[in-house]
Structure 1
Amino acid sequence: MFSRAFRVTASVRSLAAGASLLAIGLAATPVSAEAAAPAPVADEPTQAADNTQGIPDIVVTATRRAESSKDVPVAVTAIGGEKLDVLNSGGQDVRFLSSRTPSLQIESSFGRTFPRFYIRGLGNTDFDPNAAQPVSVVYDDVALESPMLKSFPVFDLANVQVLRGPQGTLFGRNTPAGVIKLESTKPGGDALSGYASGSWGTYNTVNAEGAVGGPLGSGFSFRAAGLLQRRDNWVTNTSTTGVADKKLEGYRDVAARFLLGYSSGDFNALVNFHVRDLEGTPRIFRAGLFKQGSNDFSPGFDKSKVALDGYTSQSMSQWGTNLHLDYHVDGVGTFYSITAFEKANVESTGDIDGGNNYVFPALGLNNALFPSNTGGVTRPEEFSQELRFATENMGGVTAQGGLYYFHQKLRYHEYNYVFPASGSRAADNNQDIFHNNTNENYGIFASVEYKATDALTLRAGGRYSHDRRYDRISGYSPNVFPPTLPLDQLKPLRASEGEFTWDLSATYAVSPDVNLYARVATGYQGPAIQDRVTFGSVPTVAKKQTTISGEGGIKGALLNNAVRFALDAYWSRTDDLQLTAVGGGTNSAKLLNADHAVGYGVEAEFEARPVPQLTLTVSGSYNFTEIRDPIIRVGQCGSACTMLDPVSGGLATIDGNDLPQAPRWVANVTARYGVPVGNGEVYVYTDWAYRSSINYFLYEAVEFRGRALLEGGLKIAYKTDSGFEVGAFARNITNQIRSISAIDFNNLTGMINEPRIIGGEVKISF
């Protein structure tokens, strides 16, 4: 995979060549032998120095400039430092962020390789590799399109920023719900520095990471970071038939990142290279998890036991690189270039029915109507190039604008395994459907900020984006129902659409410490293709969806920075909402455009330091969502569930239903208390996250309504002034087990959250 050269279109070559010439020209700037370590690369967030009297200011890059969070007319939350370390101490993937900020949910039916994000209720439950999501993940200023690339591990980060609401102007298409922005710690500093940490916990869960960086001289600096996360297979497969592994749910996830920075006067460059290798088991589907007529677990449920008879495996290798360049012209502004390439190879095979006993009706643990064992190999490749210019302040006016290009190649094979299995995957595989997809996007954007008075700041921006998608299906499958056979005669699918998105906002300083803001913005998700052809499905295309949102709020600090707060209220409407209807009876899938969906809610965040030793945070949100389309109907569940929607002709009317995976209430609380001891302190840190009940699918059924979930964490540690720390922690301390998603196939199958993990941790910083 690593040796395969990638090809790009002529327009991509032109942009890449232009960026390279720019780099060569700028690199020719004379370098002083005594050049200092590189200045922070553009867009890197900074934070004011901590103090014992108040809470330090939070600086974010939601507007592609470093600004105080209270000055940004966007609902944004930043998590970094100790809080990020504590939340991530249990060895979980990016899903640990779910419910940790207002209006944010993350779930997966693929485990660690395919997270699905939802902000303010807007997301996409589709599990196909070509699924488009309305929440963009931007890792080190590179937008990742493939849901599998979005799963790159979280380690050695300066912070995570969650931007809520449409971000179409500065971050492009597929951001109508918001953006998850992850920022790696960058090279810098005058001396060698770094850290190493390691924890061990329940099920031999290991979470070890470290980083080292500093100056190299002559304007160069570096930072190298690595991560190891592993867990034993802690679930026992009790099945005495079939070919499934006897132990499941373990993983070994290794990732590394190397950053090389260079600075000379007004020129900065940063090269980022990162890799990942994952081996483990796929997400466990638990047949008959739900008791018919309720959303309680079936009698006999045990989180540490399942009964599967199909093949189970998962692996992922990923690598990527990006080049950041910026050149400042004094009195004019700064030119930026970001060139990036990402590639992955993912194999995942699962027992989709989740059981080993086939009966009618398929009720109770481990029971299904018929066996289904599928898998696939997915290979996404993505190239992107952004050129941007940001002006200096010119009489109260600042502006930025640029060009963006993105090209994705997505190839994947779908396999199916027959039963009874012989034990040979090659012999049991009776299907190979090959998908060859391309996705191309380009955009042009501009944004202007005007300080009308000392108190009033106005902003406006716009972006034109255009998407082109191509999808070709070939291969063979005896499970494909007419009229889709033969596959080689299927016509390629194409979709091509564009959209202009914009935003307008105003910020008014009530005082030096408190701001009011109002914002109206639009977002755009490009056209989508659903190319599933098994179980009677036929390829479908959904046209673009567009979102308009208005919000207003207040942000600031009180009592000499002892209290920081942010409050906002919003309303949004998404037209031509893209929905994936999955029919449980046949496992078919179809893309639909609902007329529209509405959402509105309130969000709040408070942080207080009443005394120097105690820090408290409270955040929460109320999100109302509703599908509004009086004529749209989808297939009802095929698993003996108890339908709540009106059903006619086997189809359910979903007008008025909540969006899937959209809880009405989300809340989060943390508390930290430290006591000086010797040359350090002993501290206690606890965190709690709550989300109310959720609906798994477009239709509503009693069994597929997820119960409320409350997860808590606790850490007790001793930290010295010299950088040594030792402690104990617990994640999901109450061991509350809930279903977090489900499969509507041929039984009442579901998936559960992470179990309780208790362990110890050591960290050394220098």
Structure 2
Amino acid sequence: MSKVIFARKSLFLGAAVGALLCAGVASAQDAPVAAAPEAASGDGLQDIVVTAERRSENLQKVPLSVAVVGGEELRNFQTGGEDILSLAGRVPGLYAETTTGRIFPRFYIRGLGNIDFYLGASQPVSIIQDDVVLEHVVLKSNPVFDVNQVEVLRGPQGSLFGRNTTAGIIKFDTIRPSNEFSARASASYGSYNTVTFDGGIGGPIAGDVLSLRISALYQHRDDWVDNTYVAPATFPSTDGTVSPKKNAMGGFNEKDIRVQLLYTPDSDFSLLLSAHKRDYDGTSTIFHRGALKKGSNDISAEPRDRIALDEAQNNPQAYKTSGGQLKMNYDFGPVALTSITAVEGALGYSRGDTDGGAGVNFPFSVAPAVPAPNGFGQSQGNLRGLTQFTQELRLASDGDGPFKWQIGGMYFDQRDVTEFYQRTYFLLPNQPTYNPNNFVRLHDVNTSWAIFGQASYQVTPALTITAGGRITEDKKQTRLVRSVLNATGKTDMFPVTAPRFVELKDTQPSWDISALYEVSPDFSIYARVARGFRGPTIQGRSAVFNSAFTTAQSETIVSWEGGFKSKLFNDTLRFNASAFYYTVNDIQLNGNDSNGNGVLFNADKAKAYGMEADLDLRPIRNLTLTAGLSLLHSEIKDKRVFAQACSLNGVLVCTVQDPIVSRNPADGKTTPGITYYGPNTTYFAQIDGNPLPNAPKYTVDFTGRYDLPISDSGKVFIATDWNLQGYTNLVLYKTKEFYANGNFEGGVKVGYTGGNGDWEIALFGRNITNEKNLKGVIENYMAAVFNEPRVVGISFSGKLH
């Protein structure tokens, strides 16, 4: 069976790479990639307009690497109930995953991201939704619905958008109100009672002056994972979790609404007022303990729909978010002024059985000890309240002259109160280790201001030079408001010598310079160099384990890239490519301490190089093909840095392939090699030369759609999309277990469109081959996180205008 799967993946890889190479010498890092293409209604490809530089421009004329996914393509991916993570693998250079459920997506661009699951974690990929930066990880999970377009800007982006980012930006633009009536909706029903509705309706409500749009999203899936734990009389659940229980977890309910009001009294002034609200409840990430066996990466034996959990009430989570913005534009003639004021808020919790199994099923013994239940672990993160305020002012030149410029400023203020609870808090009161005081409360403040500007000049009709700069101050504060107390509430467990308040601040420049040369109207080349930085970071969650905060100073990046863009053969082929090289100095990394808790630290640097290429091809009138390819080589460069490796009760449970040292808990001394000193022994692996975590060596995407007209207004169609992911290390150190290689997933859709494309009915399948892919791990429990199961169903979409 494994040989058949390997052959199938190899055939797919060869076909997709062949499609890229056969398309000719041109470039497409900015085409809509790995997304189900639109119906091939015309002979050629349509131009794509982007706002990657805060003004509407043809994608082929923008001197940086931008990938675009249209709203319809994104909705096709999410038909089976998927969320924002569905972008992973559909855009070359972009990867996404989570080990904390739907409320905590983590994004990586060109290998740069952050594997930290801390609620206050800083990420080098920024999310921009309707021109507003969403900084906190919970805000980044805000569902995208009634979307017009998604743009992925690869590489440092420090001149124009929101916060500084060393990796890149994912920019979501929703459908805005207009003075013409329009309505659209898509609905689907599939396996596990999966229901999705995504729609919007809008138009004028007071002549040409006032217009309204209301958008909504509803998603539901029944619980489909069984908790099979049958507790022996001597080891019942210590926190009251009911088991065995059929269909105990795995489902979710997502309810979202957005209202936008646009006021345009004349052609010079516009005011957009919008508000949105989210109500979500579901299941946190399910960790399958022991799915990985020492020395092997094979997860085929672990069922995806069954797990034995003895604690954590089957991993519930629930969040509410809300927000709004006021955007004003005034055109003075030669210049235009834009003001964007926005407020975001969130609160909620996520609880999980972090050991991913029942301790009694994984007995621990080291001679001459008697085997005993092993590895009890559960935790809960509470976001008691979060507010984010942003204000941006921007003044930009207006017109089509050879010289264009923008200047502006931004202020950012985020405050939250976050709590972390550990296992003994949740135990039944009759348990001897029950401790109702086993939680901490933190108050975090992050403020930032920036002044930025950008200018471009068309030196000749063929050559345009663009340069931008930014000065940013970023300040973070974390205060321990409440520390862990003992069970009687009389003894504070936090170290007396550790600070309870930490403040970090840094001011840094960011800049970029690019040149675009139009060789011909159909072919351009560009080059870009950029510097970015990510501000200092504080990790406060360690306080719940009575450990001091850990911190990391700012990281900086200098990135070089070049590429070319083209649209050839009478607009039937768009094929672009880019190559890049970057160095990140003082890169912020996240490892684990002896409790499995995240620890921040800086490594000297990381280096990477690679390329991205993608194409759109319409070889005949009714056939559209797309393909995308990314290649990446990344390395951590620091011989002094060691990361704690997988251990449980002092035993190294995985196969580490890096140089390793053992730490004696009695005296704190380390010894080269693997030496067991007792149940508190810890092991550290040297990570110099290792790839960045969650940085695939390659990704390949392919989509196709064929339409067969059967009447003047109707067509039968078949569409498919596939993606393949190369070797991806999931942790900082190298092992025989904690990596993914050959993750493979595809979708199929067959249906009918009528009314000249105004409505569609179809049968669909997501993860149609039901691949079980490794997406994450909990190291000390050899636990695996899997991708979504196969979902098949029926969908309907329509629009009025």
Normalised by the size of structure 2, how large is the TM-score? Answer: 0.86
Measured in 2, the distance between the counterparts of 1:503 and 1:514 equals 23
* 1:382 aligns to 2:384 (yes or no): no
Answering whether residue 200 of structure 2 is matched by residue 211 of structure 1, we say: yes
Mapping 1:302-341, distance limit 5 Å? 302-311=303-312, 312-330=315-333, 332-341=334-343
* Deviation (angstroms), 1:81: 3.9
Mean Cα deviation higher: 697-706 or 532-541: 532-541
- Equivalent of residue 602 in structure 1, options 599, 611, 635: 611
Tell me the amino acid that sits aligned with residue 406 of structure 1.
F
Residues 173 and 524, structure 1, Cα contact 8 Å, conserved in 2: no
Counterpart mapping for 1:226-305 below 5 A: 226-241=216-231, 242=237, 243-244=240-241, 246=245, 247-263=248-264, 264-297=266-299, 299=301, 301-305=302-306
1:579 is aligned to 2:589: yes
Residue 544 of structure 2: SS of its match in structure 1?
Answer: coil
List runs of 5+ in structure 2 lacking aligned partners. 1-36, 232-236, 367-371, 662-669, 671-682
| Residue in structure 1 matched with residue 655 of structure 2 by the alignment | 642
1:42 corresponds to: none
Alignment partner for residue 703 of structure 2, among 670, 673, 682? 670
Deviations 1:451-507 (A, max 9, x none): 000000000010000011111013242589x99625897430000001100000000
Q: Which residue of structure 2 lines up, in the alignment, with residue 694 of structure 1?
A: 728
State the Cα distance separating 1:210 from its structure 2 match. Answer: 1.5
- Name the CA distance, whole Å, in 2 between partners of 1:368 and 1:644: 29
- Sort the Cα spacing of 1:362 and 1:618 in 2 relative to 1 into closer, same or farther, 3 A: farther
- 2:443 is aligned, of 403, 420, 436, to 436
> Aligned partners of 1:492 and 1:642: how far apart in 2?
39
Q: Give the whole-Å Cα distance in 2 for the aligned partners of 1:109 and 1:177.
A: 21
Q: What is residue 451 of structure 1 aligned with on the other side?
A: 458
Distance 2:106 2:373 in 1: 26
Pick from 487, 498, 502: which aligns with 1:493? 502
Bigger shift: residues 77-86 or 562-571:
77-86
The superposition leaves residues 62-98 of structure 1 with CA deviations (integer Å, 9 ceiling, x where unpaired) of 1111111111111111111432221121111100000
SS at match of 2:457: strand
Cα distance in structure 2, aligned partners of 1:281 and 1:753 = 14
Residue 484 of structure 1 contacts residue 538 of structure 1 at CA under 8 Å; is this kept in 2? no
Residue pairs, 1:503-514, within 5 angstroms: 503-514=512-523
Partner residue in 2 for 1:730: 765
For 1:635 and 1:421, how far apart are their aligned partners in 2?
A: 29
Q: How does 1:4-403 map to 2 (within 5 A)?
A: 52-190=42-180, 192-218=181-207, 219-241=209-231, 242=237, 243-244=240-241, 246=245, 247-263=248-264, 264-297=266-299, 299=301, 301-311=302-312, 312-330=315-333, 332-358=334-360, 359-361=362-364, 369-378=374-383, 379-393=385-399, 396-403=402-409
Query: Conserved in 1, the CA contact under 8 Å of 2:194 and 2:219?
Result: yes
AA partner of residue 606 (structure 2) = A
CA–CA separation in structure 2 for the residues paired with 1:732 and 1:76: 27
Following superposition, the deviation at residue 289 of structure 1 comes to 1.3
Superposition deviation, residue 677 in structure 1: 1.8
1:122-170, Cα deviation, whole Å (9 max, x unpaired):
0000011111000000000001110110001121000111110011111
**Can you list the C-alpha shifts for 1:348-401, whole angstroms capped at 9, x where unaligned?**
1111111113444499xxx97321111021132100000001112485211001
Match for 1:61: what amino acid?
A: T
State whether structure 2 residue 763 is matched by structure 1 residue 754: no
- 1:486 and 1:470 mapped to 2: Cα distance? 19
Deviation, 1:694, is: 1.2
Q: 1:488 to 1:597 in 2, by over 3 A?
A: closer
Distance of 1:424 and 1:194 partners within structure 2: 58
Taking a change above 3 Å as real, the CA distance of residues 62 and 49 of structure 1, as seen in their structure-2 partners, is farther
Quick one: distance in 1 between partners of 2:176 and 2:373?
Answer: 51
SS in 1 for 2:263: strand
For the residue of structure 2 that corresponds to 1:626, the secondary structure is: strand
Secondary structure of 1:149's counterpart equals helix
* Matching residue of 2:15: none
Whether the 8 Å contact between 1:130 and 1:146 is mirrored in structure 2 is yes
3-state DSSP of counterpart to 1:86: helix
Mean Cα deviation higher: 647-656 or 404-413: 647-656
Is the contact made by 2:426 and 2:436 (CA closer than 8 Å) also made in structure 1? no
Aligned residues of 2:352 and 2:380 also touching (Cα < 8 A): yes
Per the alignment, in what secondary structure is the counterpart of residue 73 of structure 2? helix
Moved more, 613-622 or 647-656: 647-656
Q: In structure 2, do the counterparts of structure 1 residues 244 and 711 end up closer, same or farther at CA, with 3 Å as the change threshold?
A: farther
Aligned partners of 1:244, 1:251: CA distance in 2, in Å?
19
CA distance in 2, matches of 1:484, 1:523: 40
The answer for the alignment partner of 1:717 in structure 2 is 751
Q: CA RMSD in A?
A: 2.4
SS across alignment from 1:418: helix
Shift of the 91–48 alpha-carbon distance from structure 1 to 2, 3 Å rule, reads: closer
| 1:342–1:383 CA contact under 8 A, matched in 2 | yes
Which amino acid is 1:305 matched to? R
CA gap 1:477/1:83 in 2 versus in 1, 3 angstroms? same
Offset of residue 418 of structure 1 = 2.5
Maintained 8 Å contact 2:49/2:58: yes
Question: After superposition, what is the alpha-carbon deviation per residue over 1:9-52, rounded to whole angstroms, capped at 9, x for unaligned?
Answer: xxxxxxxxxxxxxxxxxxxxxxxxxxxxxxxxxxxxxx999961
- Aligned residue pairs, count: 711
Per the TM alignment, residue 260 of structure 1 is displaced from its structure 2 partner at its CA by: 0.5
User: Which amino acid letter does the alignment assign opposite residue 456 of structure 2?
Assistant: E
2: CA distance, partners of 1:483 / 1:586: 19
Summarize the Cα distance change of 1:360–1:496 in structure 2 as closer, same or farther, 3 Å threshold: same
Distance 2:125 2:376 in 1: 34
Residue by residue, what CA displacement relative to the aligned partner does 1:404-457 show, whole Å, maximum 9, x if unpaired? Answer: 000000211111232994399997744120010100000000100000000000
Letter aligned with residue 624 of structure 1: H
Q: Name stretches of at least 5 consecutive residues in structure 1 with no aligned partner.
A: 1-46
The counterpart of 2:717, out of the listed 663, 666, 683, is: 683
Work out the CA distance in 2 between the residues paired with 1:208 and 1:146.
Answer: 26
Specify whether residues 112 and 75 from structure 1 end up closer, same or farther in structure 2 by C-alpha distance, changes over 3 A only. same
Q: Which has the higher contact order (CA 8 A, sep 6+)?
A: 2
Tell me which amino acid in the other structure corresponds to 2:645: Q
Distance 1:362 1:516 in 2: 64
CA change 1:432–1:488 in 2 (3 A) is: farther
Residues 48, 677 of structure 1: alpha-carbon distance in 2 compared, 3 angstrom cutoff = closer
Task: Kindly indicate whether residue 580 of structure 2 is the aligned counterpart of residue 570 of structure 1.
Answer: yes
Residues 630/417 of structure 1: CA separation in 2 closer, same or farther (3 Å cut): closer
* Alpha-carbon offset, residue 690 of structure 1: 1.2
Post-superposition Cα deviations, 1:561-590, rounded to whole Å, max 9, x if no partner, equal 00011111000000000011113x432432
CA distance in 1, matches of 2:399, 2:462: 16
CA separation in 1, counterparts of 2:783 and 2:527? Answer: 44
